[in-house]
A and B are shown apart, each in its own frame.
Chain A
Amino acid sequence: MTSLRSVFASATALATLSFTIPTASWAEQPIPVVATFSILGDMVERIGGEHIALTTLVGPEGDTHVYQPTPKAARSVAEADLLFMNGLEFEGWLERLAEAASFDGAMVVATTGVSPIAFEEHEDDDHDEHAGHDEHDEHDEHAGHDEHAGHDHGTFDPHAWQSLDNALIYANNIAAGLAQADPANASEYYTNRAAFVAEIVALKSDIDAMMAALPADKRTVVTPHDAFGYFAEAYDLTFEAPQGMSTESEVSAADVAALITQIRRESISAVFIESITDNRMMEQIANETGATIGGTLYSDALSGETGPASTYLDMMRHNATTLSDALGS
């Protein structure tokens, strides 16, 4: 018994010790960090490299808006020194999770410094109110009911990563966050950031060229849900995704009819589907209007390892190429 107790005591002492010693002195030990979703996770991984042990809460193909934290996620958060989040009310569940897990590390909001796009007011206020109500009052019980409630209301569009300019801000915030938590490796984080930024800039000039080549009458894009506001702003495109379209439980005949009318009127030639939404509706709309399905766009999550958008940069390139192929022809 005595020996067991002494083992226990020393284990406790060791655990206490490991909490009291600043992480920086454990340079060989990767610091535990958590990123909320796959796109942000990819960026953090790029900049943190081998010095971090990254846990991504919402993995590839997952929908962050309706994510329901598991006990495992709470444990990751509790053990993490750093928590990377998108912000702009994208992760509505995070605050409760961090509180429940008594997270005491530093939170890095990746969109700090981004100039956010305000949600445009839609004509039918009923829907806005309804979506907002779902999000705020029933999120716990019925999180699943409002598939993309975050898109339909709120102050700002959270999908800031859809613009490469914003990705630079993300990279800066991530590098600064890591450097602050782990000063010993700060220079390495900034080196990784510089390499990442160089790739972003190179990709940006490619995409700029692709988008500039699109004819003026082919700049309207129809997607299942409203996630490309920043991309649209950067390249002067119009993305149409009628409200309610994102959520099967809220879809109304009026929304579908309005979209079909618009596609006919503007002779839009291609509509797009997304990886995280139900696409039967888009297929029916394509069928009815004679538009083609232009391809799959990735908005809120990366694809799996083998997919065409397994990293952030691949995702941006894939989306731009898909758009340019379908609209430019």
Chain B
Amino acid sequence: MIWDLMLAPFADFGFMRRALLGCIAVSVGATPVGVFLMLRHMSLTGDAMAHAILPGAAIGYLVSGLSLGAMTIGGLVAGMIVALASGFVARVTSLREDASLAAFYLISLALGVLIVSNHGNSVDLMHVLFGTVLALDDTALILLCSFASLSVLVLALLFRPLVLECADPQFLRSVSKLSGVTHFTFLALVVMNLVGGFHALGTLMAVGIMILPGAAARFWAESIAGLIAVAALIAMFSSLIGLLLSFHYSLPSGPAIILVAGVGYGLSLIFGPVGGAIAQNLPRRKFET
């Protein structure tokens, strides 16, 4: 029973194993970044960045077709340009960073749609938006795993300054010149994970696996390490269940995975011990006794 439901799909079909490995790589790489995005009140930045990488991926596609390398480099470059440009505008003008990011990502998105509809057929745009988690080949898997490893390494190096910046950005800025470096390296990590994620889940869904588990983890743990661990676990679990649902019930894989993460978020919201709806509003028995 358990064998048929849970293990047989992965034992019988290589593409299921690949999809799971790809999703686990994305989960490990993207969720810690998502946790920091949430702690820094930047959750929507992830969404903006996901749209910002579209023209780069589109240009990469135009140059060399559905090539992994070209679309990856294009996406990275476009994402970095938007991140740097909005940061630069925020630092030299009076426009706040969120507003300038919004402006730049909208420009970038419009450019992307324009390029895709003018030169490719609309099929291509869909591949960028929805990804192909069931068609991951060896190079794509290697890329996803490398991105995840690199992301975790860089995050480990940046951990202290990032935590400081979450707690008190003014303090970090006053004691260290590395504040700007930290900020942009972090944005680079966001872009990198989104580009990795879009090969697996598409740009729209990659944001989901980045943000949702972090938001759900918020109701289970209080320490940052705890948040990251819970978020990564939720993301991996969602990937597994989502893929199995897709297998057993003929559901499209990407949305299935993100919806399972969404259900996880909903349950955490209600039952989570840290600030969840029930914990927050029920009389606390432990103080009464």
Q: Which residues of A contact B (CB under 8 A)?
A: 61-63, 66, 68, 124, 126-127, 143-145, 147, 244, 247-257, 260, 276-281, 283-285, 287-288
Contacts and interface: CB of A to CB of B under 8 A. Distances in A.
B131 A248 contact: yes
A256 B15 contact: yes
Name the residue in A63, A143, A145, A256 with the highest tally of chain B Cβ atoms < 10 Å from its Cβ.
Answer: A256
14 contacts: A61-B121, A147-B126, A247-B126, A248-B127, A252-B251, A253-B134, A253-B247, A257-B13, A277-B123, A278-B127, A278-B132, A280-B135, A284-B136, A288-B13
Given A248-B127, A248-B131, 9 more contacts: A61-B121, A127-B250, A249-B129, A251-B132, A254-B247, A254-B249, A257-B15, A257-B16, A288-B14
Contacts of B125: 144
A324 B215 CA distance: 55
A244 B247 CA distance: 13
B126 A284 contact: no
Nearest to B242: A253
Nearest to B136: A284
Contact of B15 (A124, A126, A143, A260): A260
Nearest to B116: A144
Contacts of A256: 13, 15, 134
Contact of B248 (A248, A254, A255, A283): A254
Please give me the 10 A-B residue pairs with the lowest Cβ-Cβ distance, nearest first.
A144-B122, A253-B247, A253-B246, A254-B250, A281-B135, A280-B135, A249-B130, A66-B122, A252-B250, A288-B14
Contact of A248 (B13, B130, B137, B251): B130
A195 to B, nearest CB: 33
Contacts of A255: 250
Interface string B233-276: 00000000001001111111110100000000000000000000
A144 B137 contact: no
B250 A287 contact: no
B136 to A, nearest CB: 7
Given A257-B16, A280-B66, A244 B250 contact: yes
Contacts of A280: 66, 132, 135, 137
Contacts of A276: 121, 123
Interface SS of chain B: helix
Interface residues of B, number: 37
A126 B250 contact: yes
Interface of B: 9, 12-16, 18-19, 66, 117, 121-127, 129-132, 134-137, 202, 243, 246-254, 256
Nearest to A278: B127
Contacts of B16: 253, 257
| A contacts with B: majority SS | helix
B201 to A, nearest CB: 11
A305 B140 CA distance: 33
Given A63-B121, A63-B123, A145-B126, A284 B137 contact: yes
B121 A252 contact: no
A178 B240 CA distance: 59
- The CB with the most chain B CB atoms within 10 A, among A62, A143, A147, A284, is that of A284
Given A278-B66, A283-B137, A66 B249 contact: no
Contacts of B13: 253, 256-257, 260, 288
A38 to B, nearest CB: 12
A310 B54 CA distance: 32
A284 B127 CA distance: 16
Contacts of A126: 250
A147 B9 contact: no
B132 A248 contact: yes
B246 A248 contact: no
Contacts of B251: 252, 254
Contacts of A66: 121-123
A281 to B, nearest CB: 4
